[in-house]
């Protein structure tokens, strides 16, 4: 069997095993080591050690556990509950006020944690029953919670953008700037859709009773001052320090984690038990991410060394594709992969297959990354394997059927697709803010990137790495 055939066999067996439910990170390492041993002999073990060390010693990935810790502390301190209640009071006179408050809460909490399951579950327990009690249509309420909970994939400081930046060798700071306007645009379109629907069809989003709407302005302002503005200030400081180049993502994430602890202390919601739970959940999530990186680097390095990457690239470039059709094909593949896989696996395993082809079609990795982040919104919402819908079903009342949740997600999928088309037709939505802040100077922002496998994988002489001292 030739080396390229060996590489394609490795890819096929990997897909087969993950469909059977095997752990993805360790399946990647096992496939990489086994086929690497067949192709390059004992040198594969040197590569395994070196790649593991490189991932664990990488400064970029340090921001991942810090941002995750920030999100878990905010979650455990019930800050989200306070935020939703204050926004509910403030938006009382707006059509579809509960749904609007839910989406704004999701968008703000998305900047604290990019963990979709956590946001959907919490809002499913907090906002979803409130909307049902107010007489909201089950489909609308379901779509609002599921779609709003996925915003954390796109809105900075997104964990997904950190991993993409580390994988693609793109500045995380510029990724945050590029994703900011599309994230705000998507959240705004969600809110606009809900308001218009509530005006056109009041039965799906009834207005709240007068006693819940006619609240003194002073009380609303006091509630916002004690719940909305403190969290907004923390998020603005974290995100602003990154975008303005005052701090690296890791430094800003550390500041955000400390700020979340201070907020919990101010709200008298801090305890050692909650801190221990947050640290445990952070360690578990971070370990998953790091081992995925180790496995994906081993896998992609061996895949490229055996010639599998060149076969895939040659096949794609041989097709009669232009830039638009290539982007359409790439996004369609990522969309389908989003059904059985989490976004982490897609970013560290399959996105690197497309990265070497971007230059051939004149596509910026920065622009491609934002489109991928938008695309993954649909992957979490589209049946048959819509993970956000399943998260919501797990905490929803028993009378809420999964089919209703799926149906409620569909209008928001259309909004995401419309946003993707808008971004493609008007690329300035992505490029304007990075250009305005940093211009074309590569030294305008920290070079925060990780040296992963080069396009095409490692060559034989690059496999022979020096021993670690």
Write down the pLDDT at residue 418: 94
Summarised one tens digit per residue, pLDDT across range 224-262 is 888 778 888 888 888 888 888 888 888 888 888 898 899
295-334 in b/e form (b: 16+ CB < 10 A) is bbbbbbbbbbbbbbbbbbbeebeeeebeeeebbeebbeeb
Measure the CA–CA gap between 283 and 281, rounded to whole angstroms: 5
Structural domain that includes position 399: 60-289+307-463
Task: Assess if residue 87 is contained within a domain.
Answer: yes
DSSP letter assigned to residue 468: P
pLDDT mean over 33-51: 82
Greatest alpha-carbon span in the chain:
77
Measure the CA–CA gap between 381 and 383, rounded to whole angstroms: 7
Tell me the range of 11-20, 193-202, 336-345, 391-400 where mean pLDDT is highest. 193-202
Measure the CA–CA gap between 248 and 243, rounded to whole angstroms: 9
User: What separation in angstroms does the CA of 106 have from each of 83, 111, 155, 173, 197?
Assistant: 10, 9, 11, 23, 19
Lowest-confidence pick of 4-18, 240-254, 296-310, 441-455: 441-455
Write down the pLDDT at residue 440: 56
Residues 6 or more apart in contact with residue 58 via CB below 8 angstroms = 166, 450
> Sorting pLDDT into bands at 50, 70 and 90, what band is 2?
low
Residue with the larger pLDDT of the pair 111 and 104: 104
> Sorting pLDDT into bands at 50, 70 and 90, what band is 340?
low
Write down the pLDDT at residue 443: 43
Average pLDDT of the chain is 81
Lowest-confidence pick of 140-154, 205-219, 329-343, 431-445: 431-445
Is-contact 160 376, C-beta < 8 A? yes
Task: Assess if residue 312 is contained within a domain.
Answer: yes
Measure the CA–CA gap between 452 and 101, rounded to whole angstroms: 41
Task: Assess if residue 7 is contained within a domain.
Answer: no
Write down the pLDDT at residue 442: 44
Summarised one tens digit per residue, pLDDT across range 117-147 is 677 887 888 888 888 888 899 999 999 999 9
pLDDT over 90 (residue 193)? yes
Write down the pLDDT at residue 416: 93
Write down the pLDDT at residue 47: 78
Task: Assess if residue 5 is contained within a domain.
Answer: no
The three-class DSSP label of residue 286 is helix
Residue with the larger pLDDT of the pair 400 and 167: 400
Task: Assess if residue 104 is contained within a domain.
Answer: yes
C-alpha of 15 from chain center: 22
Task: Assess if residue 48 is contained within a domain.
Answer: no
> Sorting pLDDT into bands at 50, 70 and 90, what band is 456?
very low
Count of CB atoms within 10 A of residue 204's CB? 18
Task: Assess if residue 296 is contained within a domain.
Answer: no
Number of H helices, E strands in the chain: 25, 0
Q: Indicate the number of domains in the chain.
A: 1
Instruction: Classify burial at 362, counting beta carbons within 10 Å of its beta carbon; exposed 0-12, middle 13-18, buried 19 or more.
Output: exposed
Lowest-confidence pick of 51-60, 229-238, 437-446: 437-446
Is-contact 292 25, C-beta < 8 A? yes
Task: Assess if residue 13 is contained within a domain.
Answer: no
Write down the pLDDT at residue 194: 93
Model pTM score: 0.80
Measure the CA–CA gap between 242 and 454, rounded to whole angstroms: 27
Write down the pLDDT at residue 114: 59
> Sorting pLDDT into bands at 50, 70 and 90, what band is 457?
very low
pLDDT above 90 as % of the chain: 15
Calculate Rg over the CA atoms of the chain.
23
Write down the pLDDT at residue 452: 42
pLDDT over 50 (residue 463)? no
pLDDT over 80 (residue 465)? no
């Amino acid at each position: 069997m030739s080396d390229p055939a060996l590489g394609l066999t490795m890819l096929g067996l990997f897909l087969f095993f993950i469909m059977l439910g095997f752990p993805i990170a360790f399946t990647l390492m096992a496939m990489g080591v086994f086929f690497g041993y067949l192709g390059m002999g004992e040198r594969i073990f040197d590569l395994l050690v070196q790649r593991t060390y490189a991932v664990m010693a990488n400064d970029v990935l340090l921001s991942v556990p810090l941002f995750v810790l920030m999100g878990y502390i905010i979650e455990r301190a019930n800050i989200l509950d306070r935020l939703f209640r204050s926004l509910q009071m403030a938006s009382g006179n707006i059509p579809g006020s509960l749904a609007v408050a839910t989406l704004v809460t999701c968008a703000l909490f998305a900047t604290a944690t990019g963990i979709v399951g956590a946001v959907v579950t919490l809002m499913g327990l907090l906002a979803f029953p409130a909307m049902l009690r107010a007489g909201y249509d089950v489909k609308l309420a379901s779509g609002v919670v599921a779609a709003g909970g996925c915003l954390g994939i796109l809105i900075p400081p997104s964990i997904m953008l950190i991993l993409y930046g580390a994988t693609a060798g793109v500045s995380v700071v510029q990724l945050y700037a590029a994703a900011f306007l599309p994230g705000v645009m998507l959240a705004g379109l969600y809110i606009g859709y809900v308001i218009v629907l509530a005006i056109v069809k009041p039965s799906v989003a009834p207005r709240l009773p007068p006693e819940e709407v006619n609240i003194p302005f002073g009380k609303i302002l006091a509630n916002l001052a004690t719940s909305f503005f403190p969290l907004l200030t923390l998020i603005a400081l974290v995100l602003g320090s990154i975008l303005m180049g005052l701090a690296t993502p890791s430094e800003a994430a550390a500041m955000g984690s400390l700020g979340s602890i201070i907020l919990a202390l101010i709200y008298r919601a801090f305890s050692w038990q909650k801190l221990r739970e947050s640290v445990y959940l952070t360690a578990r999530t971070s370990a998953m991410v790091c081992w995925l990186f180790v496995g994906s680097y081993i896998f992609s390095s061996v895949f490229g060394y055996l010639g599998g990457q060149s076969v895939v690239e040659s096949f794609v470039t041989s097709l009669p594709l232009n830039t638009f059709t290539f982007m359409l094909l790439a996004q369609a593949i990522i969309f389908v992969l989003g059904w059985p896989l989490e976004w982490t696996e897609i970013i560290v395993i399959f996105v690197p297959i497309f990265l070497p082809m971007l230059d051939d079609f004149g596509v910026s990795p920065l622009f491609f990354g934002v489109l991928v982040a938008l695309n993954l919104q649909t992957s979490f919402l589209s049946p048959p394997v819509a993970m956000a819908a399943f998260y919501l079903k797990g905490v929803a009342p028993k009378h809420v059927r999964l089919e209703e949740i799926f149906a409620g997600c569909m209008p928001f999928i259309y909004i995401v697709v419309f946003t993707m088309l808008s971004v493609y037709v008007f690329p300035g939505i992505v490029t304007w803010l990075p250009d305005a802040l940093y211009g074309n100077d590569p030294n305008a922002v920290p070079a925060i990137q990780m040296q992963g496998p080069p396009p095409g994988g490692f060559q034989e002489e690059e496999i022979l790495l020096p021993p670690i001292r």
